């Protein structure tokens, strides 16, 4: 039974993200961390977790937790590297090429990048997604009593999945991208040692 304070289309993927954490990971970074819920979960697997967000109001709602440090920053300005880097519903807040290039630099050799993202859907290119809608509606209904979120800033995605795939193929060779339920894609990339 989850002890999360709420469920939404992003927290739905927290278990998937935790599965991607490499066994050797000591440090983790969550970009666009909001109220730090994922950062606190990463701290159960890593010794030191940094969460960054450009919105100080949402950061102010975050409870403190051992081994978790949250700060106001644009992830594109960071220059450390981390064994695990996560981005949930945040990459589409910046131009895709800038964002992916910045994320690539933040992953330590042997580290992992896990992205849960949104893309700009089009009825023609995303027609295969339509049969998933009843399942999404079903999950929304099943979780209706726990729906909630951090009150973070949201933005409509500007890039198609084809555009995201093209940038990832160039900057993150070997990245695996999959369309998922809840209007999300997942991307996982392991930086070679
Ligand atoms: C849709 S919210 C997602 C928040 C959280 N990851 C979640 O799953 O609930 C996107 C977050 O990204 C933050 N953000 C947008 N651009 C950013 C940037 N360049 N650097 C750091 N955070 C950013 C926003 O302030 C917002 O809190």
Count of CB atoms situated within 10 Å of the CB of 101: 15
Q: Taking the C-alpha atoms of 101, 91, 160 and 129 in order, what is their torsion angle to the nearest 10 degrees?
A: 130
Q: Which residues form the domain of 90?
A: 11-121+149-191
pTM over 0.85: yes
Q: How far is the CA of 63 from the centre of ligand 1 (A)?
A: 17
Domain assignment present for residue 19? The answer is yes
Residue 16, pLDDT above cutoff 90: yes
Give the rounded percent of residues in the chain with a pLDDT score beyond 70.
99
**What average pLDDT does this structure show over 49-72?**
97
Domain assignment present for residue 161? The answer is yes
Q: Is 75 in the pocket of ligand 1 (CB under 6 A)?
A: yes
Q: What CA–CA distance (Å, rounded) separates 109 from 103?
A: 13
Domain assignment present for residue 140? The answer is no
The answer to whether residues 75 and 52 touch, using CB atoms and an 8 Å cutoff, is yes
Instruction: Tell me which residue has its CA closest to atom 19 in ligand 1.
Output: 74
Q: Which of 5, 79, 87, 90 to mutate to test the pocket of ligand 1 (most atoms within 8 A of CB)?
A: 90
**What is the band of 27 on the pLDDT scale with cuts at 50, 70, 90?**
very high
Q: Which of 5, 18, 32, 52 to mutate to test the pocket of ligand 1 (most atoms within 8 A of CB)?
A: 32
User: For the chain, how many residues are written?
Assistant: 193
Domain assignment present for residue 127? The answer is no
Domain assignment present for residue 142? The answer is no
Task: List CB contacts of 165: < 8 A, sequence separation 6 or more.
Answer: 177
Residue 2, pLDDT above cutoff 90: no
Residue 190, pLDDT above cutoff 80: yes
Give residue 159's pLDDT.
97
Residue 33, pLDDT above cutoff 70: yes
**What is the band of 123 on the pLDDT scale with cuts at 50, 70, 90?**
confident
Residue 1, pLDDT above cutoff 80: no
Is residue 51 classed as helix, strand or coil in its secondary structure? strand
Q: Name the β-bridge partners of 27.
A: 48
Ligand 1 atom at shortest distance from the alpha carbon of 149: 9
Domain assignment present for residue 128? The answer is no
Ligand 1 atom at shortest distance from the alpha carbon of 150: 9
CATH number of the domain to which 44 belongs: 3.40.50.150
How many distinct structural domains can be found in the chain?
1
Residue 155, pLDDT above cutoff 90: yes
Q: What is the DSSP letter of 128?
A: G
Domain assignment present for residue 6? The answer is no
Ligand 1 atom at shortest distance from the alpha carbon of 153: 26
Mean pLDDT of the chain: 97
**What average pLDDT does this structure show over 129-157?**
95
Domain assignment present for residue 48? The answer is yes
């Amino acid at each position: 039974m989850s002890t999360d304070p709420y469920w939404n289309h992003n927290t739905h993927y927290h278990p998937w993200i935790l599965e991607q954490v490499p066994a050797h990971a000591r440090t983790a970074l969550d970009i666009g961390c909001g109220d730090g819920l994922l950062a606190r979960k990463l701290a159960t697997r890593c010794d030191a977790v940094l969460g960054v967000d450009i919105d100080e109001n949402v950061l102010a709602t975050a409870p403190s937790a051992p081994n978790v440090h949250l700060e106001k920053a644009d992830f594109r300005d960071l220059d450390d590297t981390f064994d695990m880097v996560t981005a949930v519903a945040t990459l589409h807040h910046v131009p895709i090429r800038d964002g992916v290039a910045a994320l690539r630099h933040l992953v330590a050799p042997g580290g992992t990048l896990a992205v849960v993202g949104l893309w700009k859907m089009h009825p023609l290119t995303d027609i295969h997604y339509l049969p998933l809608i009843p399942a999404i509606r079903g999950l929304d209904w099943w979780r209706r009593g726990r729906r909630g979120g951090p009150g973070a800033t949201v933005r409509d995605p500007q890039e198609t999945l084809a555009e995201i795939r093209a940038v990832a193929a160039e900057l993150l060779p070997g990245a695996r991208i999959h369309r998922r339920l809840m209007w999300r894609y997942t991307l996982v990339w392991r930086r070679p040692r």
